[in-house]
Amino acid sequence: MNKKRILLSCLRILFRNWLNTLFMILGVSVGIIALTITFSIGKGTEKQVMDNVKKQFSSNNIYIGAGRGQMGSGPMSQGPISTLKIEDLEVILNDVPGIIMYDPVQWLPEKEVIAFNNNVTTMIKGRSSEGEIIWNRTVQTGLFFSKSEEKNASRVALIGSKLASVLFVNTDPIGQQLRIGNIPFTVKGILEDKGVDAHGFDMDMDVIIPITTMMKRVMSVDYIMSASLLIEDVEQMDDIVFAITDILRERHYLNENETDDFSIMTPVEVKSVVGDMNKVFTLVLPLISGIALLVGGIVIVVMMLMSVSRRVSEIGLRMAVGAGKRDIIFQFLIEASLVSLFGGLLGFIIGVIGTKTLSSSMNYTFVVPWQSILLGVLLPVAIGMIAGIVPAKKAAKQDPIEALS
Amino acid sequence: MIQLKSISKIYGKDSGQEVAALQDVDLVIERGDFVAIVGASGSGKSTIMNILGLLDRPTKGEYYLENRAVNTFKDDELARVRNKTIGFVFQKFHLLPKTSAIENVELPLIYSDRKKIRGLAIEALKKVGLENRASHRPNELSGGQQQRVAIARALVNEPEIILADEPTGNLDSKSTSEVLSIFRELNLSGKTIILITHEQEIAEQANRVIRIHDGIITEDIRN
């Protein structure tokens, strides 16, 4: 008995029955294509979202949002909640140890901004001068607004580089005027480039103005939408979250039966929320593709069974000339595995090409993880082996006398 | 070489309607003999051929092949004995379709430990005079040529015994005499030939004719 010779003989048989072989290969490759693409999209999306999260949340930030809303839906979804105040943050900074600074945030997602004859509808964010540190975003040219400008609710603005080129075209925007609604502002600086945030907003189109100016002059409100706190030590995160919760509940006069009218997010929670979203990509989609692969396996079982019936006389002959039952089983398992392997490799190659094509056409990065090469090789071979068992056993049970008569 | 001791083969044991295809058959075949087993269909000659060829097991009795009690062997051991000791030739040739003559001849060697199998296969094709048809597929060969390829396949692993079941049943008279003369040559070179047939004139080519009827040997004569 010589395994290498049987293997060669299998290859020849597969080649000679190329139409059958092709059908089985295609059956498997469809599943593997689906699996490779969905797996890559899942991994790519996960990486992209995680990169964005890292861009916006340093690990020692705590985020307080007005209202019960989760990060994923955004505080706006429950309508404006007017209970979170800058005074709350002042008390928290004074009473809770381990907090370095805070940055209150108020924002309008769509507001008209005008300069010269150009106007753009974009996002206006109100922040404190500490926002430069907390959000880890400073200016690339010009200056960030100062503490005194914040105190005086000065009409100064920082703008993203893309917005600058839309509004001012070739003019240097620093020192120029722009209007937010009817209120004139002086451009103080161009913000560092940050790209797209986790919600899909292009941060290079941002306008950032002092939080006080935002609240008094633009929105006429006395409350804020959210705040970020910078803490000294990540280890204290849980204690600080408890302390903040107590203070806010007390200051907002919430009794025991009432739920929080604010939500506190830590980077750990942000990651887990994002992770949950990504389970759709990394688990559910591949699961569906897995069903496609199962169909591929069934195609192999059916076609191999047909092949066994068609080759009864060949099997009988092989037995007569000295093939043991084990040799016959080996032969059919190898045939099924080879077909699956070819199908897997073909599917993997098409899947990778498909992923690349999708990435470039959707301007989105999909990662083909190295693990998926296992997907393209080991998984199909395993499926082939399993799919080959039933036909191989059927073949080995063949009575050579009946087969040869 | 071959010794059968009161071999019986009984079918339908489970259903209660027992039919004995062979009944207490004793038979000795010497090394280098040319034996024809003759009988009508249903006489038991196919059964005796399957038992001699180790494709089937007797219901009872002992079978010694080269002094080994092969009736006690396991399936995989029997496969190895078939591979080394017995070469089969069938009425319907049983060549693999879409497969060249040389690859058909190589088939038994796939399951052997022999080296340089291509060379051995060419040697075997030379013995049947078909070395120039090595790359032809069965559908490109005549019936007689196909049977000669099948004989080459039976020879390739140099077995002691050639077991031929109605080898000329599907052949015209010219091919029949070609095939029979190959068997005679093989016998002269020392092979033991066992020919199963229902035709008297084919049987007459053998040195010894064993007639079988209703599962019993009724006649055993030397020509």
Report residue A61's pLDDT band, with 50, 70 and 90 as the boundaries.
Answer: confident
| SS3 per-residue string spanning A217-266 | HHHCCCCCCEEEEEECCHHHHHHHHHHHHHHHHHHCCCCCCCCCCEEEEC
**A window 231-270, beta carbon within 8 A of B:** none
Q: Nearest CB to A321: which of B56, B88, B98?
A: B88
What mean pLDDT is reported for chain A? Answer: 84
The alpha carbon of residue B175 is apart from the nearest alpha carbon of chain A, in Å, by 22
- Answer whether A102's CB lies under 8 Å from A89's CB: yes
Cα separation, A303 vs B41, whole angstroms: 37
User: A296 to chain B, minimum CA–CA distance in Å?
Assistant: 27
Taking residues A261-289, what's their average pLDDT?
75
- In the predicted model, is pLDDT for residue B182 greater than 80? yes
Model confidence pLDDT, tens digit, residues A227-253:
988 888 877 888 888 899 989 998 988
pLDDT band at A70 (very low <50, low <70, confident <90, very high): very low
Please give the pLDDT value at position A76. 46
Phi, psi of A115 (to 5 degrees): -145, 140
pLDDT of amino acid A69: 57
Write down the ipTM of this complex.
0.92
What's the average model confidence in pLDDT over A290-297? 82
Question: Residues 167-206, chain A: which have Cβ within 8 Å of B?
Answer: none
Report how far residue A184's alpha carbon sits from residue A289's, in angstroms, rounded to the nearest whole number: 56
How far is B211 from A351, CA to CA, in rounded Å? Answer: 68
CA geometry: angle A197, A103, A269, nearest 5 deg: 55
Within 10 A of A344 (CB to CB), how many other CB atoms are there? 32
Using a CB-CB cut-off of 8 Å, the residues of chain A touching B56 are 401
Q: Read off the pLDDT of each residue in B183-191 and give the average, rounded to a whole number.
A: 94
pLDDT tens for A179-201 read 998 899 999 999 998 887 767 78
Judged by a CB distance cut-off of 8 A, whether residue B90 touches chain A is: yes
CB pairs under 8 A between A and B: 71
Contact at CB, A324 and B80, closer than 8 angstroms: yes
Mean pLDDT of A359-368: 71
Asked if B115 has any chain A CB less than 8 Å from its own CB, the reply is: no
Q: Is the pLDDT of residue B191 over 70?
A: yes
Q: How far is A302 from chain B (nearest CA, A)?
A: 22
Is residue B74 within 8 Å of B102, Cβ to Cβ?
Answer: no
Q: Is the sign of the CA dihedral A398, A402, B2, B5 positive or negative?
A: positive
Distance in angstroms (rounded) separating the CA atoms of residues B181 and B175: 10
Local confidence band at A75 (pLDDT 50, 70, 90 cut-offs): very low
The reply to whether B113 touches chain A by the CB within 8 Å rule is yes
Q: How far is CA A341 from CA A28, A246, A337, A393, in A?
A: 9, 61, 6, 21
Those residues whose C-beta lies under 8 Å from the C-beta of residue A290, and which sit 6 or more positions away, are A31, A35
The model's pTM: 0.68
